[in-house]
Chain A
């Protein structure tokens, strides 16, 4: 609890810790234990104190009264200071261990004390002196004018009972001094015992609270751990249900929730896998006839010129659409491979500039592309996948942005950055977030696109399988697609044997 005064810089964390269930439980237990123990000890102490003091007082005062009554009768009228001193000594010696002081108004200078060095009139409190010397009215219930009065007083740090009375109306006044040192020692011992008992109760309650919180908190902690695992996707996480309390109920509820979550997720992923398999199977099935058709398209194309002018366009249509279909199916299969996570990287170390140059050359784009690529930027990549990325980015820029398309290659730290920018109108802001979506067509009015609608999404997937990414933005002039790729890939182990 003293932590509350701790440094503020730990603020929120400390606060949270202080407000934790464990701390609160211990605090509550401690407060209850403290209140109970302190009030019980307090009452016990005060009752005891009263009883002890009362008994000591009564005994001493009774004894003083008896002894004084017995001895005062022998005192002559107008007694001298010596006689008064003798009386004091006599009264003191006859009784219990107390001292006596006798005062007579006739001898104000006389200190008639059983121990004159210690007990003088100055030590008797004035109120007591006044009360003792004041006669009381005689009534039916009050037969004497003077009574025995007492007061507890500390004399030089020690507790004393001081009693006083006038024996006869004209006679001297006697005071007794009874030390309460023993009683105080007894009461101190009692006080210490009670304090220690309170402390023990406090410690006990803290331990008890700790134990109680542990029995509550252990299941809570396990529940928290299980919930975390569930959140991380381990849907088979279950809790052991112990007992029949609220926490067991909670555990059962958790298990039921996890169970139903598990079922739903399984059903969903089964359905997703099914539809994925369907697409994969379908593209696969489409491929067989396409392979046969592709095999003969070259023949048809070669012969088209010698065909009837009515038939030639039909043949050319079949040829071009077969190629389109075959591209589409290839792209579909590629997408399903990425979805199923079976796409593999066949990595090799290549010069990025060479790769881009070959990509541009191979597609006869040389006139339309301005290449700013220093030689010597070598990266471990799958050249065929990267070629797909470049072909898609540059092809897309040529198609939608128009030439000249600028391709800039830079090495930046552990990455190579390739920026492909065009000279077109740029990408509308509302389209920008969707450019990598499958079959997303920026121009909805266009009935047919030249591409499959999968190009940029495949480019993105290919970048990602390399641990890279592609970002689309609008530059100063036209759209800019920026590919960022790490320079190195984990190489397959089989290429690493026998190496210097």
Chain B
């Protein structure tokens, strides 16, 4: 991943010409390098050719829609994906997050907000300390920013990795959804707790032995989530 390069390289997939042009202009001005595609198919092709650092993806696309694009990318790659949705409270958000998106913004989006989200999600992959810890068969190596389970590398998105890191920094201590939104997503007080729930589900699917009966990442009723050191 190219998160340490000076200029982040974004792929914008949006079918409406005006929005695509407008966002391309604004994001370029915010200091990003932007490639744009007008359909899901074009977007997937561009993604394979140019390997961007991050994708900004419209949900409503002709042909294969944003969710499908998201799912196809997630099969092979863990780069951050930010969804552009029509509204914040409908099923689009849930489906989008389940398809593997890291964050979402609602149209019409202020370029400053989108830029902040992009930078926050890119920061999640940055190294911080240089220790490692083991939780049962799961080993988190903070210096290499890798997680292994039974010796095998787990493919985690930067968001999933950051969530696991934040939880593992305080093992046995419950973190509320709002706390996690601040720590991982860098959202203000109005963060959407569904982001946390969806990301926890995806993370469990990768690190738990039985994702439906989690032993590592536990839900604490009325509070949030907690990483349990194995007994």
Is A151 positioned at the interface, with any CB of B under 8 Å from its CB? Answer: no
Known: A295-B25, A348-B178, A384-B190. A495 touches B214 (CB 8 A): no
Known: A284-B86, A289-B18. A346 touches B213 (CB 8 A): no
The answer to whether A295 touches B23 (Cβ under 8 A) is yes
The answer to whether B19 touches A295 (Cβ under 8 A) is yes
Chain B 207-222 interface residues, beta-carbon cutoff 8 Å to A: 212-214, 218-222
Among listed B35-43, B75-83, B102-110, B155-163, interface-contacting one: B102-110
Is A77 positioned at the interface, with any CB of B under 8 Å from its CB? Answer: no
Interface residues contributed by chain A, number (CB under 8 Å)? 41
| A292 interface neighbour in B16, B87, B213, Cβ under 8 Å | B16
Contacts of B16 in A (CB 8 A): 288, 291-292
Is A5 positioned at the interface, with any CB of B under 8 Å from its CB? Answer: no
Contacts of B192 in A (CB 8 A): 346, 384
The answer to whether A295 touches B22 (Cβ under 8 A) is yes
Is A339 positioned at the interface, with any CB of B under 8 Å from its CB? Answer: no
The answer to whether A292 touches B19 (Cβ under 8 A) is yes
The answer to whether B220 touches A499 (Cβ under 8 A) is yes
Q: How far is the CA of A348 from the CA of B16 in the complex (A)?
A: 35
Is A344 positioned at the interface, with any CB of B under 8 Å from its CB? Answer: yes
The answer to whether A348 touches B110 (Cβ under 8 A) is no
How near does chain B come to A240, taking the closest CB pair, in angstroms?
43
Q: How far is the CA of A178 from the CA of B89 in the complex (A)?
A: 110
Is A496 positioned at the interface, with any CB of B under 8 Å from its CB? Answer: yes
Q: How far is the CA of A158 from the CA of B97 in the complex (A)?
A: 109
Known: A291-B22, A292-B19, A295-B25. A346 touches B89 (CB 8 A): yes
Known: A295-B23, A296-B25. A495 touches B219 (CB 8 A): yes
Chain B 5-54 interface residues, beta-carbon cutoff 8 Å to A: 16, 18-19, 21-23, 25-26, 29
Is B146 positioned at the interface, with any CB of A under 8 Å from its CB? Answer: no
The answer to whether A298 touches B221 (Cβ under 8 A) is no
Q: How far is the CA of A495 from the CA of B110 in the complex (A)?
A: 31
The answer to whether B189 touches A358 (Cβ under 8 A) is yes
Q: How far is the CA of A282 from the CA of B101 in the complex (A)?
A: 29
Chain A 61-79 interface residues, beta-carbon cutoff 8 Å to B: none
Is B197 positioned at the interface, with any CB of A under 8 Å from its CB? Answer: yes
Known: A287-B107, A287-B108, A296-B22. A495 touches B189 (CB 8 A): no
Q: How far is the CA of A422 from the CA of B197 in the complex (A)?
A: 39
Known: A292-B21, A295-B23. A354 touches B197 (CB 8 A): no
Contacts of B221 in A (CB 8 A): 496, 499-500
Contacts of B222 in A (CB 8 A): 349
Binary per-residue interface labels of chain A (338-369) against chain B in the complex, 1 for a CB within 8 Å, 0 otherwise: 00001110101110001100110010000000
Show the binding face of A for B, using Cβ within 8 Å.
284, 287-296, 298-299, 302, 326, 329-330, 333, 337, 342-344, 346, 348-350, 354-355, 358-359, 362, 383-384, 387, 494-500
Show the binding face of B for A, using Cβ within 8 Å.
16, 18-19, 21-23, 25-26, 29, 86-90, 107-112, 176-178, 188-194, 197, 212-214, 218-223
Q: Which 7 A-B pairs have the closest CB atoms?
A: A295-B22, A292-B18, A358-B189, A291-B108, A499-B221, A292-B22, A294-B108
Q: List 16 A-B contacts (CB under 8 A).
A: A288-B19, A291-B18, A291-B109, A292-B16, A292-B23, A329-B108, A344-B89, A348-B177, A348-B193, A358-B188, A383-B189, A387-B190, A496-B219, A497-B219, A498-B214, A499-B219
